[in-house]
Amino acid sequence: MQQQTFPSKVWFITGAARGIGLSLARQLLAQGDAVVATSRTQDSLRQAFGGDSERLLTLEVDLVNEASVQKAIQSTIEVFGRIDFVVNNAGYGQQGTIEALTDSELRRNFDVNVFAPLHVLRQALPHMRAQRSGHIFNVASIVGFQGGYSGWGSYVASKFALAGLTETLAAELAELNIRATVVYPGPVRTGFLSKETLVVAERKISDYTEAQASLDLHLNGLDGKQPGNPDKVASLILKAANDDEPPVHLFVGKIANALADQKMQAVSKDLDVWRSASDATDFDK
């Protein structure tokens, strides 16, 4: 595929073979933008999109391997000449209590959910910086803002890390005319909770009954019944991308909004109750 000149925008999307990433890619192609869609396997991309076209480049990428990411970004520039939007959408859920999770289980979760997006950013940002334009969307989860869920500590921590990273990015990139947004979806019907996608810790500790109840609820009660519509989530991301003043924090869905409100109220209460004692820890003037 030879480099083309596009009046439209160029999007680089990870985890594009299903869920939010797939919905977003399809909407972008429909409106005339160029899309680089990545996934772990070319077969999954072929099933999702059929094949490449003038405005679609599908790439099998191992996001945990920075050399693979670097090659993908280079291919993007060679074919489309620029990158206007990066959507770090790939990730997976790791269930298990903090005590039960092994070091390897935790590290693998962070490799995919945190360090892989960092690989993408390190490779994409030099091109955006040269352009003095661009927009980063890091897809976290509402649990990256409100994390009080027994048995989900690894996933929660990884999404909190991605959210904090995005806040810093927004501050660092502002002078370069590059935007950064963290997306906090609530439960979205994407197959995220299927037994083929969700990873459960090998070790279980029977004393943690709340964690087991949460796992059972998510696998047996919520999988396939989540209220979030991936097509509408993608449309909201597009709306933010086209806004003159896009948000740094983009909450998605009624559940996400309600949980965010609960978190802010709880933090405000703690802040108010402990304010005097907290203020008193400073040096006396």
Per-residue confidence at 220, pLDDT binned at 50, 70, 90?
Answer: low
Catalytic hit among 92, 155, 184, 208: 155
Given a cut of 70, whether residue 190 has pLDDT beyond it is no
Please write the tens of the pLDDT for every residue from 85-95: 999 999 999 99
Mean pLDDT for the stretch of residues 70-89: 97
Per-residue confidence at 221, pLDDT binned at 50, 70, 90?
Answer: low
Reported pTM: 0.92
Please write the tens of the pLDDT for every residue from 101-159: 999 999 999 999 999 999 999 999 999 999 999 999 999 999 999 998 889 999 999 99
pLDDT at residue number 193 = 52
DSSP the chain: ------SS-EEEESSTTSHHHHHHHHHHHHTT-EEEEEES-HHHHHHHH-S-BTTEEEEE--TTSHHHHHHHHHHHHHHHS---EEEE-----EEB-TTT--HHHHHHHHIIIIIHHHHHHHHHHHHHHHHT-EEEEEE--GGGT----TTBHHHHHHHHHHHHHHHHHHHHHGGGTEEEEEEEE-SBSSSTTSTTT-EE-S---TT-HHHHHHHHIIIIIITTT-SB-HHHHHHHHHHHHT-SS--SEEEESHHHHHHHHHHHHHHHHHHHHHHHHHHTTSPP-
Domains and CATH numbers, the chain: 10-269 (3.40.50.720)
Please write the tens of the pLDDT for every residue from 248-264: 999 999 999 999 999 99
Given a cut of 60, whether residue 183 has pLDDT beyond it is yes
Mark whether 155 is an active-site residue. Answer: yes
Looking at every residue in the chain, the average pLDDT score rounds to 92
